[in-house]
Amino acid sequence: MSPADTLLVLAGLWLIAVITPGPNMVLFMAVGLSSPPASMFAVAAAIVLGTCLWGLAGLLGLFWLFELFPAAAVAVKLAGGLYLAWMGLGLIRRNVSPPAETARASAPMLTPRRAFLTGIATALGNPKSLVFVSSLFAVTHLAEQPIGIGLAGVGVMVAMSAAYYVLLGLALKTLPFARRPGRLSRALGIGTGAVMIAYGGKMVWER
């Protein structure tokens, strides 16, 4: 398989991975529904950075670290899952506030700085990302290519993730309920919080 074919196959598989709902997308939607655009795009930047780090780790063959130290992988999963569930609980509590507290509850859930740190914690809190990336590189034979092609593959992943979350964020902010608080916005916030708790529980439960 030529380098161009390898990158093309990688792009196709990564597109499927990017648009498949997971903890990163759930967090992004939650922040998009409850925080200003700066915080939403700070989360996107963190997710893209996490993609880059997992991609480089997979390219350098660091999967063996979790095989040698499985307890480390379990600890990372527990921390990431619990944190995601905690964020989901906070989102639910914020959106079930009584009407008298609506004005106070309309304050941004996350500042851009906190949103970025939360995004990094979520993106790096699931060691299965490294397993997936390593498998993806094995299937596409990217790891067998020269290092320059491997880095280009990671670049493709980063660029596609960045484009997807920018477009998703712009689309999300055009929705009326995302621009002003209301019953539908609060209902979606509660639903998103519940999904975050479910994903976090799934990460904690699975070994």
Three-state secondary structure of 88-104: HHHHHHHHCCCHHHHHH
Q: Identify the DSSP state of 207.
A: -
DSSP E strand stretches across 85-144: none
Map tokens 């997936």 to a residue.
132
Q: What are the residue ranges in the chain where pLDDT is below 70?
A: 1, 62-69, 72-73, 76, 97-109, 127, 175-185, 188-189, 207
CB 177 within 8 A of CB 185: yes
Q: How far is CA 176 from CA 14, 15, 179, in A?
A: 31, 28, 5
pLDDT of residue 102: 44
User: Buried b / exposed e across 56-85, counting CB within 10 Å, b at 16+?
Assistant: ebbbeeebeebeeeeeebeebbeebbebbb
Q: Which domain holds residue 200?
A: 3-205
Judge whether 42 and 115 are in contact, CB under 8 Å.
yes
How many domains does one find in the chain? 1
For residue 126, the model assigns a pLDDT of: 72
Exposure of 33 in the CB half-sphere (CA atoms within 13 A): 24
67: Cα within 13 Å, side-chain hemisphere: 7
Looking at residue 109, its pLDDT comes to: 59
Q: State the pLDDT at residue 207.
A: 56
| pTM for the structure as a whole | 0.76
How remote is the C-alpha of 50 from its chain's centroid? 8
- Tell the burial category of 29 from Cβ atoms under 10 Å away from its Cβ (0-12, 13-18, 19+): buried
What is the reported pLDDT for 87? 77
Start-to-end C-alpha separation, the chain: 35
Q: Of the candidates 142, 138, 189, 149, which has an alpha carbon nearest to the alpha carbon of residue 29?
A: 189
- pLDDT given for residue 181 in this prediction: 54
